[in-house]
Amino acid sequence: MNLQEIKDKLIEILHRFSQVKVLVVGDVILDKYIKGKVERISPEAPVPVVEIMEEEIRLGGAANVASNIKTLGGEVFLVGIVGKDEEGKMVQDMLREKGIEFLGVEASSRPTTVKERVIAHAQQIVRLDRELKDPIEPEVEKELRRRISPLKDKLSVVVISDYAKGVVTPSLVRFLKGNMKNSFLIADPKVKNMLLFQEFYLVTPNLKETILFLGEEGEVPVLAKKLKDRLRAKNILVTLGEEGMYLEGEEESGHIPAHAREVFDVTGAGDTVVGIMALGIGCGAPLKYSCVLSNLGAGIVVGKLGTAQPTIGEMEEAIEDFAHEIRNYL
């Protein structure tokens, strides 16, 4: 393919995202950002005193995956848990504003998961987490299953966004595998639950998670092949941060270099990757082209502060900017 054909193909895939219906199941998180400046050290303890200038809330975890999918034109249904608290209301309000259908449960037994980051001069000072990691109660899982069941014949893709906060249980994953047989199953895993995602179409761990699960270090292609064999997955995509990603696929494999103009904050980049992979797979794009697009999307969001999503316009601009490099490995 010549350069123009590659650009045209990527843009054509991008505009097919609107055809895709995705179910995202996982741990819904509210991200809070307290931004300020530091001009002195506290007299009470050797810590910086942050003078608060701005506060912001954003969707995180599975909600950020859903937000990425929606921003790029896909139709998305989100299933997870929020608490019966003010933060849970904030999450649901933001989802409504974005046009994301939330089919999750308000649980009185646990708080909404919140990650609160204090940032000064573009540096994160501290992160405060409020969460309950225990597995969800059987009656809550039963209600989640009830809400998922009517969707089984409507979906292109099911994404499990696992942040190990209790929503992703063995029984819920078995339910999805048994009832979503007409959908591609994708998981963005945590190490403790990795074995739940055996025989999935795609699993997208980062390199650290891959090493911890396998219990060994080594060359990325070797590790990716071992993980693929261990999980009996059709495809493994190992994300490598500033090094890009490595695809170990049933039909093709290879390294996809990163394309970022500037790395400002890596928060949420994995959510962007799995969201765009879901859209690409759902619209029938070749897997390596989906990888290229997800890599471009991740390169956009790491240039923004906090959890963020790339737009169609930003994606088109990135395709134009990096097409010469992309041609070298497509």
Is 245 in contact with 206 (CB distance < 8 Å)? no
Catalytic annotation, pick one of 31, 162, 265, 271:
271
Structure tokens at 83: 């608490």
Told to judge if 271 belongs to the known catalytic residues of this protein, a careful annotator would answer yes
Q: For residue 174, which amino acid is it?
A: R
Can you give the three-state secondary structure of 170-215, one letter per residue? Answer: HHHHHHHHHHCCCCEEEEECCHHHHHHHCCCCEECCEHHHHHHHHC
Q: DSSP code of 146?
A: H
- Could you tell me where the beta strands, DSSP code E, fall in 10-99? 21-26, 28-41, 48-61, 75-79, 81-83
Q: Are 189 and 162 in contact (CB under 8 A)?
A: yes
CB-based burial, 25-44: b 16+ in 10 Å, e otherwise = bbbbbbbbbbbbeeeeeeee
Task: Read off the tokens for 109.
Answer: 């037994």
Among the listed residues 316, 255, 322, 329, the one whose alpha carbon sits nearest the alpha carbon of residue 73:
316
- CA-to-CA distance for 202 and 184, rounded, in angstroms? 8
200: tokens are 């999935």
d(CA 32, CA 44): 26
Q: Which residue has the tokens 């939330």?
A: 102
DSSP code at position 156? S
Burial of 232 (0-12, 13-18, 19+ CB in 10 A): exposed
For 29: left if phi > 0, alpha if psi spans -120 to 50, otherwise beta; the answer is: beta
Q: Give catalytic residues, as residue numbers.
A: 271
